[in-house]
């Protein structure tokens, strides 16, 4: 909770607190920032030159290439280098590649993952908590000096890759754009995994690609296929028949989208399994349906005066307290509508008469400041507070009014139900479940975010463009 929201929660102890819907009226820019910060993690971008094996390798100045400069006498003079930070975990998968520039005298180059305190003079895979795919034998080494038959050998000119799929706890390795094999990560591996490469004989040189250059491997296709496997498990869950229909219906009822609801009911009239079912829940949601629809329309059309008048007439208790959140939001919106119409003088007059009193309330300060700022711009629609002039702001006020009207229902049992539709409660539950599951799973994997889920549409398109 932001400090602003906390202040709001403390300031308005009433039954319904429409300001809690406030997270929605963030401006587009603010929302972008929120989105970027969600699960934002540092990503490996270059090789770590501090945690070094010492004398056996040199890293290029761009920190993307490593070359062996030792003599190679035994197993403790490997030149192993980790990425500058561990692989990010709050996602579906992570992947990186390396190109073998020169296989050197013995071709003992390797790619894999290691944990923080790995001994940099050993090959990845030779020590516990490490994994390595080695070029000289094509073997996979995991936690011991003895490898297992895994994939083809690789040498000068080859591009090899290593990746992690968090949901299935698997590592996978590729050579020249093709998966050569996968291996399950044992539960004993503790701690973040660092992308790691190694060189171990004179002249060996490799270059890493942490994603700045396009990968040789079609990572996106691979991820889509893996994701489909996960989704197949989800799709097998049993759902009561027509559940989606009832949830959509209850959403329309909750927000007072009465015309949509009527159309939907007409369309499903002939389907006996979808005819009206009046549960207690639906009856509660039917409350004041037509009034709520009218109020929403008025606010969406910017006719705040009439909305106010109707509220006074129908639900005087909602607008009785001039210092209430709902009065504040409606007055604010009236002010915004003056600005939108270009009536600046009226806006100023209205602000003095109806908004000045709210400056004393700390909880309203942020919104008030933004609203007042509208006056400062010649072109408010181009300003940093332009979000106030966009349709979602009206929708936000309409939703707040809707919640307040719902709260006047004598049969209404809890304020949560006035605030949130069934659909919203389910989405919130899903989000928290995935977030908590991840927290309890070492912070690994993807969480559910509704906006990302909706954005992914079309991202899973079939692609025939495989490179040879």
Is 376 exposed, middle or buried (CB count within 10 Å of its CB: 0-12, 13-18, 19+)? exposed
Least distance to another protein, CB of residue 136, Å: 41
Cα–Cα distance between 52 and 119 in angstroms, integer? 9
Bridge partners (DSSP) listed for residue 133: 111, 140
CB 277 within 8 A of CB 313: no
What's the N-to-C CA distance of the chain in angstroms?
Answer: 50
Least distance to another protein, CB of residue 27, Å: 11
- Total residues binding another protein (CB under 8 A): 74
Residue 350 touches another protein, criterion: CB under 8 A: no
* DSSP per-residue letters across 81-100: EEBSSPPP-SSSEEEEEEEE
Nearest to another protein of 99, 224 (CB atom): 224
Least distance to another protein, CB of residue 454, Å: 5
Order the strands of the 159-165 sheet from edge to edge: 57-59, 65-68, 205-209, 93-102, 159-165, 170-175, 178-184
Least distance to another protein, CB of residue 280, Å: 9
Nearest to another protein of 343, 425 (CB atom): 425
Choice from 260, 306, 383, 408 touching another protein (CB under 8 A): 260
Nearest to another protein of 42, 458 (CB atom): 458
Least distance to another protein, CB of residue 47, Å: 36
Q: Which stretch binds another protein (CB under 8 A): 179-187, 360-368, 401-409, 443-451?
A: 443-451
Choice from 232, 360, 454, 465 touching another protein (CB under 8 A): 454
Nearest to another protein of 116, 436 (CB atom): 436
Cα–Cα distance between 199 and 208 in angstroms, integer? 12
CB 231 within 8 A of CB 120: no
CB 307 within 8 A of CB 330: yes
Least distance to another protein, CB of residue 300, Å: 7
Which residues 141-180 are close enough to bind another protein by CB under 8 A? none
Residue 463 touches another protein, criterion: CB under 8 A: no
Which residues 225-244 are close enough to bind another protein by CB under 8 A? 231, 233-235, 237-240, 243-244
Least distance to another protein, CB of residue 343, Å: 24
Query: ∠ CA(183), CA(188), CA(192), 5° rounding?
Result: 80
Nearest to another protein of 50, 233 (CB atom): 233
Residue 428 touches another protein, criterion: CB under 8 A: yes
* DSSP per-residue letters across 90-155: SSSEEEEEEEEEE-TTT---EEEEE-TT--TTS-TTTSTTEEEEETTT--EEESSS--B--S----
Q: Are strands 65-68 and 205-209 parallel, antiparallel or unpaired?
A: antiparallel
Cα–Cα distance between 390 and 98 in angstroms, integer? 48
Least distance to another protein, CB of residue 381, Å: 17
Which residues 27-56 are close enough to bind another protein by CB under 8 A? 31, 34
CB 155 within 8 A of CB 114: no
Least distance to another protein, CB of residue 426, Å: 5
Residue 422 touches another protein, criterion: CB under 8 A: yes
Residue 264 touches another protein, criterion: CB under 8 A: yes
Which residues 296-325 are close enough to bind another protein by CB under 8 A? 296-297, 300
Residue 281 touches another protein, criterion: CB under 8 A: yes
Nearest to another protein of 52, 333 (CB atom): 333
Question: What's the sign of the alpha-carbon dihedral 193, 194, 200, 206?
Answer: positive
Order the strands of the 110-114 sheet from edge to edge: 79-82, 194-199, 110-114, 130-134, 140-142
Residue 6 touches another protein, criterion: CB under 8 A: no
Cα–Cα distance between 141 and 146 in angstroms, integer? 7
Nearest to another protein of 76, 451 (CB atom): 451
Residue 378 touches another protein, criterion: CB under 8 A: no
């Amino acid at each position: 909770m932001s400090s602003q929201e906390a202040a709001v929660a403390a300031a308005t102890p009433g039954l319904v607190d429409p300001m809690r819907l406030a997270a929605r009226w963030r401006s587009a820019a603010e929302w972008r920032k929120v989105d970027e910060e969600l699960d934002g993690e540092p990503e490996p971008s270059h090789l770590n030159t501090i945690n070094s094996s010492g004398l056996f390798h040199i890293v290029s100045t761009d920190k993307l290439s490593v070359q062996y400069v030792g003599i190679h006498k035994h197993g403790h003079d490997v030149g192993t280098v980790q990425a500058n930070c561990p692989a990010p975990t709050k996602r579906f998968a992570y992947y990186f590649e390396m190109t073998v520039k020169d296989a050197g005298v013995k071709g003992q180059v390797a790619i894999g993952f290691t944990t923080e305190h790995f001994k940099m003079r050993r090959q990845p895979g030779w020590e516990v908590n490490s994994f390595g795919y080695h070029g000289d034998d094509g073997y996979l080494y995991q936690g011991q000096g003895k490898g297992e038959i895994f994939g083809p050998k690789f040498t000068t000119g080859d591009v090899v890759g290593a990746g992690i799929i968090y949901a299935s706890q698997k590592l996978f390795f590729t050579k020249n754009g093709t998966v050569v094999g996968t291996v399950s990560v044992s539960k004993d591996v503790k701690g973040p995994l660092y992308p790691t490469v190694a060189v171990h004989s004179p002249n060996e040189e490799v270059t890493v690609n942490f994603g700045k250059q396009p990968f040789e491997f079609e990572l996106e296709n691979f991820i889509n296929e893996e994701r489909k496997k996960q989704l197949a498990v989800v799709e097998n869950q049993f759902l009561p028949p027509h559940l989606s229909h009832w949830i959509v219906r209850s959403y329309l009822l909750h927000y007072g989208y009465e015309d949509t609801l009527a159309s939907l009911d007409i369309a499903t009239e002939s389907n006996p399994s979808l005819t009206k079912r009046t549960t207690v829940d639906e009856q509660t949601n039917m409350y004041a349906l037509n009034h709520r629809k009218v109020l929403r329309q008025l606010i969406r059309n910017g006719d705040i005066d009439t909305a106010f008048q109707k509220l006074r007439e129908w639900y005087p208790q909602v607008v009785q307290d001039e210092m209430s959140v709902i009065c504040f939001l409606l007055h604010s919106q009236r002010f915004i509508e003056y600005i939108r119409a270009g009536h600046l003088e009226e806006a100023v007059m209205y602000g003095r008469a109806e908004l000045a009193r709210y400056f004393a309330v700390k909880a309203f300060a942020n919104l008030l400041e933004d609203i007042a700022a509208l006056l400062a711009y010649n072109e408010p629609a181009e300003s940093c507070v332009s979000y106030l002039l966009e349709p979602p702001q009206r929708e936000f006020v309409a939703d707040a009014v809707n919640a307040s009207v719902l709260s006047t229902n004598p049969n209404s049992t809890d304020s949560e139900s006035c605030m949130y539709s069934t659909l919203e409660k389910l989405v919130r539950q899903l989000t928290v479940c995935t977030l908590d599951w991840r927290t309890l799973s070492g912070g690994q994997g993807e969480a559910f975010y509704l906006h990302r889920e909706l954005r992914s549409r079309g991202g899973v398109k079939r692609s025939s463009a495989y490179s040879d």
